[in-house]
Structure 1
C-alpha cells in the first residue's frame, strides 16, 4: 500500500498574528464518487442499474486513431469508461503499456506541455469526469496482448497480494471508481503473435489451475476494494471481461462464483467470427441464424447470455458487447447457404498474405499491414471509416439479417464480406438488454465511433446505445467529494513604513513527499500530490483586498471572496512536493492582526480554464486572537518598493513551524482513567480543559486533535 494512510485530523495553529494551517489529507486531491444512499439501498441500486460502458485504448491519442482525445468522448452518454490497458509483471508490479500516453502527453489539453504534472490521459480523465459527474472511470488490467502474467500472480498468494495492493494504490492516486480484469483467457495456452503485435505476451504459461485461481484473484480484489472503499467512504466496483464462446467459458470460467464476486461482467460478444474461420459469419450477431453451421457454440449474444444464466450468472450483472469495427474475408466462394441473406456462411479462400507472408483469408485492414504492428489481415476497419472501406471495395452492398438482427457488407462479384455493428443493430441489442433485464452494454472502442455532425466528438453508436438503454433522460449523476493534500498555510499581516497601508503575506507549502517505487506508482503519486492551477479564495471583513505584487496577478471578486488565480502565473501553475509559494496581498488599510481575515481556501484545476475541484480550507478565522504588532516593511525611500521575490522557503522560521502530528509520538488512543473527560473527535475551543489519560490539558486554540499530540494542547498537570 502507498503511504497515504487515512489521516483525517485537522489542526489549526494560531500563533499570535501568524497563522499556520496544516491539513493532512487522506488521498490525492482528485475526485471520489459516492452515492447518497445507505449500504443496502446502494447494493440494490447497483444491482438494478443499467450501464453504458466504453473502452478507451491508450493508443487512441496517436496518429493511427487520428489523435482522439478524452475531451472528444461523448461522456455524458456513458456510465463507465475503461482505460485500456494497464500491464503488470509476474510479481504483480504495474507497468505502463504507453507511459507517454498515460502521464506525459498533453492530449489536447490547453496550456499543458509534455511531461507536466497535469499532462497525460489520467489527468484528462479527471477533468472529463468533473465535467460529467455521471461518469465512472476504471482501469482495465491485461487485455489480449498483456494477459501473460495472470497465471503467475494468481497462483501465488504473496504475488496476488502485491498485485492487488499496487492496483489499489493506483486507483487511489488517480481516484478511479472501478477495476476491470481482462484475462484472455484462463487455462488457454497461446504463443505470442509477434507478427501482429511485437509486444504480445501470449499466455504460454497458462495452467488448468487458472480456473480456480482466477476466482481467488477476484476475491482478493473484492476484499481489497471493499476495505479501501470503506476507509475512503467510497463504493468501488469490480468488473471483468469474459469470452462469449461456450468452450472458452467451460474451460476457464467458474460462472457462479465469478458472478457472486463481481459487480458486473462484460461479455465480449464481438470477435465471435473472423479470418481464422473457414466460412463467413456474424462477428457480433444478436441471435443465431438457423443456417449457421456453428449454432449452439455460443457465437451469438443470445446463445452466450442464455448459457451464462444457465450456469448461474446473475442476469442483472451481464453486460453485452458491441463492435465499433468490422471483421472481414477477402473472397468467399460457392453457393449461398441462406437464400435470404446472400454471402452468409459461404466458404472462404486464402488469397491474401499476412506481413510474414503466411496465406490468409482475411480482407485488407483499414491500416497498413506491418510486421509487429497489425501484421495480420482481418478486414478490420473502424466504424467511422466504413465509407473508406466501401471505396476500397466498391462492389460492397449493405445487407440486414433480420433473424440475427445484424448488418453485413457483401460483394457478390468478388466475394468480399464484412461483419460489424451499426445503429440499427445497437438498438436491437439495447432492446434485448432491457427485455431480459440485463446489466447493459459495452463497446470496443470509443475512438472507432463515427463523428457527430462533423464535429470532433465521436458518438454516433454511443448515442444509439445510450438512447436505447435510457431513452432521452439525463444519466444519473454522482456526488463528487475530495480529500485534502498535506499543505501548510502561513499568514502574516504587515504594515508599510511609508504609509498607513499594509496587507498580508501568505505562504502555501506543499508538504507531500515522494514515497512510491516503480515507474507507474511514482508517476501517479507525483501527479496526485502536485498542486495544479490553484485558485485561492480569501474572505475578509472590514478590510478589502484590492491588489498584490507580481506573485498575485489580477485579483477578481466572487461571492464576497477575493480570488487569486495562480494558474495565470507561470511560476505558480504547478506547485510541486516540498515547494512553497508566497504571495503579498495589499489591503485598504494595514491590518493590526488577523481578526479581519475570515476564511482562506484553495481549489485546483487540471487545466487553467477547466472546472475547479477539491475545495480545501486553509484557514478559518477564530473568535479571539491575541493582538500583536504587525510586521513593518522597512523604508528604503519615500516611495514604495517592489517586494522581494519569494523563495521556496516559507516566511515562518523552522523554530516556529508546528510539527506534523504524524511525526510525533502519539498518546494512547483510549483513555485509561475513569476520571478522563476527553471526548474523541470533539472540537475544543481555546481555553477549554479536559482530562486525558489522567492528565489535564488546556486547548491553546480550536482543535479536534488528541490531547498531547501537538502544540494545540497545553499540559496543565
Structure 2
C-alpha cells in the first residue's frame, strides 16, 4: 500500500484529545550515511483545543537503519494560526515560514524509531495543519507527491454544489478524511441548462449558485491548502478549491455533471435539432472546459477556470420518460440523446486536439429496462462514453408506503412484487449489448427511512406498512450515513442485515432506516468487480463520516479484488 499524504485531523471539540492514525511510511533502504533525507517522515496531530488556544505534537519517524541527529523541518501555518511556545526542539521564523531543528542538547532519531516534541499555539477557529511541510528538504509524507489509489479500478464520487453551504462538507474535507487520495474521479453536481438550451451561470434561486461555484471567498480553515481565497481573486469558491485539490492530487479527474433531478428540465429542447445540440455543447465547453466564466460576484473572466474540469458528465433524468414533473419529454428524445452524445464527443475531441488532452465523457444512467428501451440507443451511445454510472439506489423509497431495500444486489425472497435489484439491472444492460467493463455501479451514502412501522413476523420491520417517511437531518425520508452511524452507536436501534443482498437496516420498533454501512459497501464493491464492472460510484461523498470510513471500505475492496 502506498504512503498516505501528510495531513492533520482537527480536534472534534474543545480540549478533546484527537486520535490520529499514523502515516503509513514507505519502506526505505538502509542508509550508508547518518542523515538520509529520504529516511525521515513527519506526522502532526492537534491534541487539544480551547478558546483561542491549542496544543500540537510533531513526531519525526526514521525508517532508515541509521540514527539521524541532524534534521530540519520547515513548514508554514494557515492564516490565523501560530505557534506560541515549543519545547524539546528549536524554533525560528513565523507562521509564513517556521523552521524547527534539534534542541541545543541534541536529539537523535533512532534507527527505525521516532522523536517527538510538542507546542502550544493560537488559532482563530480555523485549520492548524502544517502547510508545505518538508523534512531535510523532502516531503514530510515520505513521498514525492500524489500517489493516488493503489488499484486499477474506477472510484467515482459526486461532490455537490451545496455540500459546503448546506452540509458543512467542504472540498478540504476530501483531504482531511483521506478520501481524495482514494478517488479516481469527482463529478461536480450540478451544472444547469437554460430554457434557451445553453450551459450558464446565475445566482437566481433555484437556477444556479455562481457564488458557491466561484464567487465565495473560502476562509483558510476551509481551504484545501490552508490558504484563504483573496477577495480580489478571479476564481474563488468550490472551483478554486477543486483546482487546489487537483494540484495536490494530480491523479484526480474532475468532471462537471449537467442536469440532475432538478435541472434536466430543458434537455429535450436543447437536444432537439442539430443547431440546438451544437449550441448547447459549445456553451458547455466554453464555460467549463475553456473556463470562460461570466463576471459575477466580482469574480470570473476569460479562461479563469481552465484546468478545473477534465470532462463532462451527462445526468439527463430521463430521455423519453418521466422524471421531475416539470421536465420537457418527447418521444424522439431517444434518438436526439444519441445525437447529443455524439456532439459532445466530437467537440470534446476537437478541444482535446487543441490542448493535447483527452476530455472524458460519462453519464448517469437509469435502473430499469423500460427506461433504457424508451430513451437509450445503447449500441450507438456506449462507444462515445468513457464510462457510465448505473443507478444502484432508490430502488425503493419513502414515496412508497411499505418499507423495503433501496439498494439490494439480489432479490430478497420476501420482497413483494414488483422486484428490482442490481443483478436484474445488470442483466438489462448486458442483454442489450453493453460491455460490463464500461459500467460503474452506483452506491448510496445515505438511507431511506419510514416511521410508524410495525415489527412484522420477523421482528425486523422489513416489508411492513409505514405511517410515512421518517424525519432526516436535511430532508424528510432520507438520512446520511454519518448520522445513521450515530443512531446505531446510540444503542436505540437494532441492526439487521441481508448478507446476500448486501443491505443493512436499523429498526427501533417504530422507525426503520435502510442504508449501506461499511460491510454493505464492501459487498457491493466486490459484487461489481466480480461482474466485470470497472468500479463504483458514490452519491454523495458528503454522506460519509469525518474519517471517510465508507470510502475507505470501498477502497479496501477495490484493492483486494
TM-score (norm 2): 0.64
For residue 65 of structure 1, what is the aligned residue in structure 2?
Answer: 167
Whether the aligned pair in 2 keeps the contact of 1:324 and 1:421 (CA below 8 Å) is: yes
Q: How does 1:318-337 map to 2 (within 5 A)?
A: 318-333=439-454, 335-336=456-457
Q: 1:274 to 1:113 in 2, by over 3 A?
A: same
Distance 2:430 2:358 in 1: 26
Whether the aligned pair in 2 keeps the contact of 1:91 and 1:162 (CA below 8 Å) is: no
Distance 2:228 2:469 in 1: 44
Q: How does 1:489-528 map to 2 (within 5 A)?
A: none
Q: 1:71 to 1:366 in 2, by over 3 A?
A: closer
Higher relative CO (Cα under 8 Å, sequence separation at least 6) belongs to 1
CA shift digits 1:467-488 (9 cap, x unpaired) = 211349xxxxxxxxxxxxxxxx
Picking from 539, 543, 550, the partner of 1:461 is: 550
Whether the aligned pair in 2 keeps the contact of 1:92 and 1:159 (CA below 8 Å) is: yes
Q: Is it true that 1:146 corresponds to 2:263 in the alignment?
A: yes
1:347 counterpart SS class: coil
Q: How does 1:288-327 map to 2 (within 5 A)?
A: 288-294=411-417, 296=419, 299-327=420-448
For residue 197 of structure 2, what is the aligned residue in structure 1?
Answer: 92
Q: Is it true that 1:418 corresponds to 2:516 in the alignment?
A: no
Q: 1:420 to 1:114 in 2, by over 3 A?
A: farther
Distance 2:526 2:342 in 1: 32
Distance 1:282 1:302 in 2: 14
CA shift digits 1:181-221 (9 cap, x unpaired) = 001111223565xxxxxxxxx31x21111111111111111
* 1:139 CA drift (Å): 0.5
For residue 345 of structure 1, what is the aligned residue in structure 2?
Answer: 463
* 1:114 CA drift (Å): 4.1
Picking from 497, 502, 510, the partner of 1:405 is: 502
2:542 counterpart SS class: helix
For residue 384 of structure 1, what is the aligned residue in structure 2?
Answer: 482
For residue 158 of structure 1, what is the aligned residue in structure 2?
Answer: 275
Q: 1:277 to 1:248 in 2, by over 3 A?
A: farther
Q: 1:291 to 1:254 in 2, by over 3 A?
A: farther
* 1:382 CA drift (Å): 1.2
Distance 1:287 1:106 in 2: 46
Q: Is it true that 1:53 corresponds to 2:170 in the alignment?
A: no
1:223 counterpart SS class: helix
Whether the aligned pair in 2 keeps the contact of 1:334 and 1:347 (CA below 8 Å) is: no
Unaligned runs of 5+ in 2: 1-150, 202-207, 292-305
* 1:398 CA drift (Å): 0.8
2:290 counterpart SS class: helix
Q: Is it true that 1:239 corresponds to 2:341 in the alignment?
A: no
Distance 1:348 1:103 in 2: 43
The structure with the largest alpha-carbon Rg is: 1
CA shift digits 1:8-38 (9 cap, x unpaired) = xxxxxxxxxxxxxxxxxxxxxxxxxxxxxxx
* 1:161 CA drift (Å): 0.5
Q: 1:218 to 1:49 in 2, by over 3 A?
A: farther
For residue 255 of structure 1, what is the aligned residue in structure 2?
Answer: 378
Whether the aligned pair in 1 keeps the contact of 2:404 and 2:514 (CA below 8 Å) is: yes
TM-score (norm 1): 0.51
CA shift digits 1:45-84 (9 cap, x unpaired) = xxx952100000011111x312423453421100000010
Whether the aligned pair in 2 keeps the contact of 1:51 and 1:79 (CA below 8 Å) is: yes
Picking from 104, 108, 113, the partner of 2:215 is: 104
Unaligned runs of 5+ in 1: 1-47, 193-201, 350-360, 368-373, 453-458, 473-717
Whether the aligned pair in 2 keeps the contact of 1:105 and 1:113 (CA below 8 Å) is: no
Q: Number of aligned pairs?
A: 380
Distance 1:445 1:307 in 2: 25
Q: Aligned-pair RMSD on alpha carbons?
A: 2.2
